Amino acid sequence: MSERVIITGGSGRLGRSVVAGFVEAGHDVFSLDRSMPEDPAEGVSYRSIDLLDAAATKTLFEELTPTAVVSLAAIAVPFSAPEEVILRTNAGIAHSVTAAAVASGAKKVIIASSPSIMGYGSPAGWVPPRLPLDEDVTPQPWHAYGLSKYVAEQVAAMFAQQRDDVKFISFRPCYVIAPEEWAGAPTQQGHTIAERLEDPALSAVALFNYVDARDVTDFLLTALANIDRVRNGEVFFVGAKDAMARRPLAELVPEHFPALAHLAGGLIGDSPAFSIRKAKEVLGWEPTRSWRTELVAELRD
């Protein structure tokens, strides 16, 4: 069924793939961002807006009358701005967009969170109850970005408590790889994928997680189509089936996170540190792309 969808952050590195995929799937797409993309997609209505302006956001949403909203807009990199700015911006956008979605009559709202809310890399030390991580492990954010994304999840959960006629989902996309990055373009951290594979320390920062932007798009399309099967306010990890590593995490995790050595024994082969079982069991979604198949051949070996 075709939806009338607002996608916030549609000009971003993930947003571009999501916008293109939703148009290809036959949805009526409105992309909202502070700036327009350099290569706008055909069939998309682009609007420039400061989503922190709650009144303007509400007015625009009511004008566009979406049936569904996918909220991707945020400061996307930890420590890329002052901590108070990241927290205020991301939490503010989450509330502004969700409130506007509800006021506009949208019945499906999907909010982007982040695996970084789990707390890996904490200077105070971080030892989860198990690996791989799943949605039942309690988040322990230690920086403003992680906290802001955890707040975004709680915003969705709050509105889910207020409205039984609107469905809310939060999702935690792993380290997003845009299509051009498989050919050697720099990733979000500034390194290429080949460099991340050559030096495991570069991927260890994100606990070796990643996901292709097109697989995230497929998850969102699947979630939108099957949202009625989901308990309101649910959260999902969205990642690749494998880790961003040439060696098993059973070997790499103890080297880079000695305190987690006792948890890593089951991460054999190409197993990732983040479970995507819930998305498969509840929604029927599985990723189809891996660095082993997508990375151009001359960079793969």
pLDDT tens digit sequence for 144-171: 999 999 999 999 999 999 999 999 999 9
Instruction: Please give the backbone phi and psi of residue 48, each rounded to the nearest 5 degrees, phi first.
Output: -95, 130
Q: Which residues are bridge partners to 169 per DSSP?
A: 110, 234
Q: Domain 4-300 classified CATH 3.40.50.720? A: yes
| Whole-number Cα distances in Å, 58 to 12, 23, 240 | 22, 24, 35
pTM for the structure as a whole: 0.97
Whether 132 contacts 272, CB under 8 Å: yes
Segments making up each domain of the chain, as ranges: 4-300
Q: Which residues pair with 45 in a beta bridge?
A: 30
Higher pLDDT, 186 or 301: 186
Looking at the chain, the whole-number percentage of residues with pLDDT higher than 90 is 95
Mean confidence (pLDDT) of the chain: 96
| Local confidence band at 301 (pLDDT 50, 70, 90 cut-offs) | low
How many residues are given for the chain? 301
- In this structure, which long-range contacts are made by residues 190-193, counting pairs with CB atoms below 8 Å and at least 24 apart in sequence? 192/299, 193/244, 193/291, 193/295, 193/299
Task: Please give the Cα distance from 246 to 38 (Å, whole number).
Answer: 35
Mean pLDDT to the nearest integer, 4-18: 96
* Residue 297: predicted pLDDT: 78
pLDDT score for 87: 98
Write down the pLDDT at residue 39: 84
Burial category of 82 from C-beta neighbours within 10 Å (exposed 0-12, middle 13-18, buried 19 and up): exposed
Tell me the per-residue pLDDT of 206-240, one tens digit each, with 9 for 90 and over: 999 999 999 999 999 999 999 999 999 999 999 99
